[in-house]
Structure 1
Amino acid sequence: MWRQLKWRIVGGNMAVVIAGATLVLLMTQIVTRMVVPEPILAEVRHLAEASDPAGAEVATAVLLDTFRGTIITAVLVGTIGAIFVGWFSSLALARQILHPLNQLASSSQRIANGRYDERIPIPDSAELASVATHFNQMAQALATIEEQRITLIGNVSHELRTPLTSMIGFLEGLMDGLFPSSEETYAPMHAEMQRMQRLVDDLQTLSRVEAGA
């Protein structure tokens, strides 16, 4: 995908360069056929007539052809140079754009795999810098949510372990005959079960709130 985008950027820039160079060549040919420096023509005619009056027109035509050819050659060389410059500058521009995007794609994949500490450097381009900044803010928010989730799981595990441990102790005592089967024995177990029920209700409420957010 990125390779295709790279060549689209390069191709678009090169199309502009080639179109501009073609227009310059066409305009050069038209202008050199229409506009000829009159002082040069007068001097050529004067010299040609002084040496060979019969060949004055031929000499003038040769000079005009040479003049036009020189201009067209110069423009053509400049055009080829512009194409090479456009090619390398397009590659540099494509790399400048695609390198941060490649980093963004790689970091996104690592975050999807659970690497919430992943961050990308801020590029020089203002537009890409904005994207990178928002990406890092998103990654930080995900890391914070993950930390809160881990903390919540730890707290819930601790809160559930206490009543479970108490209930297991009471049940083992009843099974071993250490506690009498009376209301005084079952009352603490009932209290611990109510405590567990409150924890479960709180978790369900939290789950609904986060789902609604």
Structure 2
Amino acid sequence: MAAQASAEDAKLDGWVPSLDHATFVDWNRVYEPSEDTFLLLDALFADRAALRASRAIVEIGPGSGVVATYLAKLTRNSVLAVDINEAACALTMRTAEANGARVDVMRGDLCGALRSYSVDALVFNPPYVPTDDEEVGGAGIEASWAGGRNGRRVLDRLLPHVARVLAPAGRFYVVCVAENDPASIVSYLRARGLTGETVLRRRARNEALSVLRFVRAAPS
């Protein structure tokens, strides 16, 4: 059984769900997977043992559906994907279907519709590129990457709710760049009972990318 599990894991190490069904029209409206996406997939693979113990898994802002689909295949569980972009919701459903993954899609804004203490694993690759605030949340493709001042406008809307939606042993994974000031993200969530650390780093062109993981601090 161990050998079988190891062989299954080997197939998922570095695997990216197929997007052969996506079109140029999709990429005009939805973020196309890039280095930040692949870094997140690698971080989730490295944490697969803990993730497989998670029952309620949610990705905020799935975009193409690659990460949600990967999570569903990695954990052999269903995943809930929440996106405010109707085109992203539609493409996420198609990606899951094309790769035989169990992904439920809900159109919504961040985690406003999630019940308190209900999520075992929360995943977010936010729009993190520092831009003018006017570009944040627009109708064009720039909304998928424009993060406003310090690249934090969208993420800072989510952070106050993370501790509320996470289950007692829940985990939160978030992608960020150096300009987002990862240390201040760790400090902010530490004050709300979550312990954070960088689990993976990578430089992609001019971006110093990292994936942070947060867990609820053990009671003292």
Larger Rg: 1
Q: Which has the higher helix share?
A: 1
TM-score normalised to the size of structure 1?
Answer: 0.20
Q: Which has the higher strand share?
A: 2
